[in-house]
Structure 1
Amino acid sequence: MTRHLCTLFVAFLALALPARAFETKATHAWVYDMTTNTVLLDKAGEDSVPPASMSKLMTIEMLFEAVQDGRVQMDTTFGVSAHAVSFTAAGGSTMYLQQGDRPTVQELIHGMIINSGNDACVVVAEGLEGSEPEFARKMTERGLALGLEQSTFANASGWPDPGQRMSMKDLGLLAVHIINTYPDLYTVFGQTEFNYKNRAPANANNRNPLLKLGIGADGLKTGHTEEAGFGLVGSVKQGERRIVFAVSGMASDKERAEEAERIASWAFRQFALKTVAKQGERLAEARVFMGEAATVGLVPAQDVRLLIPAASKAGLAAEVVYTGPIKAPVAKGATLAELVITMPDMPEHRIPLVAEADVPMGGFVTRLQTAIGHLQATYLGTAPAS
């Protein structure tokens, strides 16, 4: 069996210079296009850093999971401990809970997301696992199960602690998981106002600066501590595309707002969604050994859609790679090859290609001719017929 390469040339309109790399003021950043599963920017995105309140996304995810699997309902109530209330006096973000309150799960979801309530997070931790330390241990376990490789948790709220660490990539992947897994509950992230028992001042509502810009933003979470600086996990949807990004290390809330908007603008304006190959379109052929037909067409099983840098003009470099000849019989739809696409300043894409049609085993004459051809090639140096 031999590895085969078929070089293709795919061209698009547009082009003179490759898209310029985005320069961000964030010390750590990770930008991801959910529509095409493409990482657009990774600036120290795998470094484990203090996440501040952005780590509340893990607490929120665990409560969402409990709602989804039926352990709690939206009208389930939790008690409020002195430990939970202490966060209001400490000066952190709060939904203004008091001992004796019995907030519902629905109210706590709003308090965590819209008010960024540290008290709400502690109430959830104690309500689900009995204590915040045990909940934090479960948070770390849950994070690993979700593929968050640089995340450890010491508390439910993101309060400064040496054991509270996440990477921007992990925060971005967690956001993607929440959006995909809990679409109904996710809508709360786009809401701007919540005032539990009318206790909160007007400025205690959602701090996400993107929500009021009319650019399709619908989440997710801001964060700030002295150690972490100002950060944001954002999600913006425009047309068919959705981007998610996580940034940290900005110097002020103003810089955070400006940088978040710049990132969203760059991600949508500097990349265009293109269909580079259609489902069922023959891109190449593979030789078939002992088949009724000598070759089989190689086609994508679905449309191949990629992000193309909007300012790039050289087009794409594409190769079809397979190991052959393919031994008959061949079933239609069987994966036989890969379409490998490369372009400047973008990750390589490898797309499976499948058999265009069935190729049954050849009859006696076909097999005899193939055997004779093989013997000629082996003993006489004559290339077999293809």
Structure 2
Amino acid sequence: MRRYRMRGPVWTALILALVLAWPATARASPSFIVIDADSGDTLLARDAWQLRHPASLTKVMTLYLTFEAMQAGRLTPGRVVPVSPRAAAMEPTRLNLRPGMRVTVEDCVLGMVTRSANDAAAAMGELLGGSESAFAARMTQRARALGMRDTVFRNASGLPDPAQVTTAADMALLARHILIRFPDRYRYFATTSFRFRGETVFSHNRLLASYPGADGLKTGYTRASGFNVVTSAQRGGVRLIGVVLGADTAAGRDELMAELLDAGFARMQMDRPAPVPPLIASARAATSPVAARAVPVLATPAPPAGDTRFRVRLGAFSSRSYALDLAQRAARPVNGTVRVEPVAARGQTLWRAEVGTLSLAGATRLCPPAQRQGGTCLILDGKARL
């Protein structure tokens, strides 16, 4: 795939074109998010905190709890999973399990990852939770513990339930937790096929074959949810996680994900020039702070009046005192709170400056003077750090 570089205005134009050109249909436009798997920073987002139905992305949490039990020694790959009549009766897609059939934990894991088998998910939920409903309560409890503030699970499989909801941001967070906590078991998500009782079971995840660097995770679909996918891909030492929820077709979902990941990788490769403090003489330019890569986030619909969850990222600089001074000057007219924190970038420590506790109007008003003083202007939803 051709590599390319983009500068700030070109980057902004490309992203806006990508989002605004996506066709409007009877279904709400897809929500999406792309994050840097290493830092958790959001690179791209639209409606990423809007509630959607997860469909079979629910199985990612079922797999998380399965991996957790395996890591703790409560399960082994060869452990036999009982198949109840209820689990065997799950609606498609299925491994066609039958009551009393001998099926292992690894069979269920691979069945969930590839065919998105609802019978395998239900059987695993019953094994881990005693009943699928009790397991779903555990799933929601674990979601809260992981920081997934808006997700509610009602079953282990993702079969339709009006109360079963998530967000693109929550699903990206879950995928990141799996990558961090279970790096060895993450390999299951790269499975394109496996043999089960004499049959070759193939994966529904076409991005594994079509997108360079993609190596997991999961697709999902119900009529209520539309076409969903969580994908992780790696190129040149950079790993991204993308989520698309609510596309109209599988092909459209995969196309959008590929475009988003392309844009995310291009953004991570982009070299930004140093913002030079305007009050420092040009003779001192060689020692001026160096800006780190900035992270654009696309605006979602206008929040309610009085909502002060927004923040503005001004950039990252080699001088802590300069970063602090810039943030304080920017915050003063809008009564914002100041945050300066160290970040590692290419072998050096930079100081990232942000102004928070802002309304969207305040964040927008802060931008022009901040840019004139040498900062960037990146308006972030307060939930954007994963």
TM-score clears 0.5: yes
Counterpart check, 1:182 vs 2:182: yes
Which sections of structure 2, spanning at least 5 residues, go unmatched?
Answer: 23-28, 278-288, 297-313, 328-349, 355-374, 382-386
Counterpart check, 1:250 vs 2:283: no
Counterparts of 1:1-386 in structure 2, within 5 Å, are: 15=7, 17=9, 19=11, 20=13, 21-22=15-16, 23-24=18-19, 25=22, 26-87=29-90, 90=91, 92-199=92-199, 204-213=201-210, 215-272=212-269, 306=293, 318=317, 319-321=322-324, 338-340=351-353, 342-345=375-378
Contact between 1:172 and 1:245, CA under 8 Å: does it hold in 2? yes
Cα pair distance change 1:247/1:198, threshold 3 Å:
same
Please tell me whether Structure 1 or Structure 2 has the larger radius of gyration of its CA atoms: 1
Distance (Å, rounded) in 2 between the aligned partners of 1:86 and 1:244: 34
How big is each residue's C-alpha offset from its partner over 1:6-26, in whole Å with a ceiling of 9 and x where there is no partner?
A: xxxxxxx97462523343445
Paired amino acid for 2:220: G
Contact between 1:126 and 1:135, CA under 8 Å: does it hold in 2? yes
Q: In proportion to residue count, which structure has more helix?
A: 2
Contact between 1:18 and 1:345, CA under 8 Å: does it hold in 2? no
Contact between 2:268 and 2:293, CA under 8 Å: does it hold in 1? no
Distance (Å, rounded) in 2 between the aligned partners of 1:256 and 1:75: 35
Cα pair distance change 1:183/1:275, threshold 3 Å:
farther
* 3-state secondary structure, aligned to 2:189: helix
Shift of 1:340: 2.1
Q: In proportion to residue count, which structure has more strand?
A: 1
Shift of 1:189: 0.6
TM-score, normalisation: structure 2: 0.68
Distance (Å, rounded) in 1 between the aligned partners of 2:8 and 2:265: 19
Distance (Å, rounded) in 2 between the aligned partners of 1:16 and 1:154: 43
Shift of 1:304: 8.9
Distance (Å, rounded) in 2 between the aligned partners of 1:208 and 1:60: 16
* 3-state secondary structure, aligned to 1:244: strand
Paired amino acid for 2:49: E
Number of residue pairs the alignment of both structures matches: 292
Shift of 1:273: 5.6
Distance (Å, rounded) in 1 between the aligned partners of 2:155 and 2:239: 30
Contact between 1:31 and 1:41, CA under 8 Å: does it hold in 2? yes
Distance (Å, rounded) in 1 between the aligned partners of 2:210 and 2:379: 29
Contact between 1:36 and 1:305, CA under 8 Å: does it hold in 2? no
Cα pair distance change 1:269/1:96, threshold 3 Å:
same
Paired amino acid for 2:253: R
Higher relative contact order (CA 8 A, sep 6+): 1
Cα pair distance change 1:274/1:36, threshold 3 Å:
farther
Cα pair distance change 1:143/1:195, threshold 3 Å:
same
Distance (Å, rounded) in 1 between the aligned partners of 2:221 and 2:187: 23
Root-mean-square deviation (CA, aligned residues, Å) is 3.2
Cα pair distance change 1:321/1:218, threshold 3 Å:
same
Distance (Å, rounded) in 1 between the aligned partners of 2:353 and 2:84: 57
Cα pair distance change 1:339/1:86, threshold 3 Å:
closer
Contact between 1:140 and 1:151, CA under 8 Å: does it hold in 2? yes
Shift of 1:260: 1.5
Distance (Å, rounded) in 2 between the aligned partners of 1:60 and 1:33: 22
Cα pair distance change 1:246/1:14, threshold 3 Å:
closer
Paired amino acid for 2:34: V
Paired amino acid for 1:269: A
Shift of 1:113: 0.8
Shift of 1:76: 1.2
Contact between 2:49 and 2:169, CA under 8 Å: does it hold in 1? yes
Contact between 1:28 and 1:249, CA under 8 Å: does it hold in 2? yes
Contact between 1:125 and 1:156, CA under 8 Å: does it hold in 2? yes
Which sections of structure 1, spanning at least 5 residues, go unmatched?
Answer: 1-12, 278-282, 284-299, 310-314, 324-336, 349-386
Contact between 1:95 and 1:195, CA under 8 Å: does it hold in 2? no
| Identity in percent | 31
Distance (Å, rounded) in 1 between the aligned partners of 2:38 and 2:258: 19
Shift of 1:306: 3.3
Distance (Å, rounded) in 2 between the aligned partners of 1:14 and 1:27: 25
How big is each residue's C-alpha offset from its partner over 1:317-340, in whole Å with a ceiling of 9 and x where there is no partner?
A: 7433279xxxxxxxxxxxxx9542
Distance (Å, rounded) in 1 between the aligned partners of 2:142 and 2:84: 25
Contact between 1:274 and 1:307, CA under 8 Å: does it hold in 2? no
| Residue equivalent to 2:307 | none
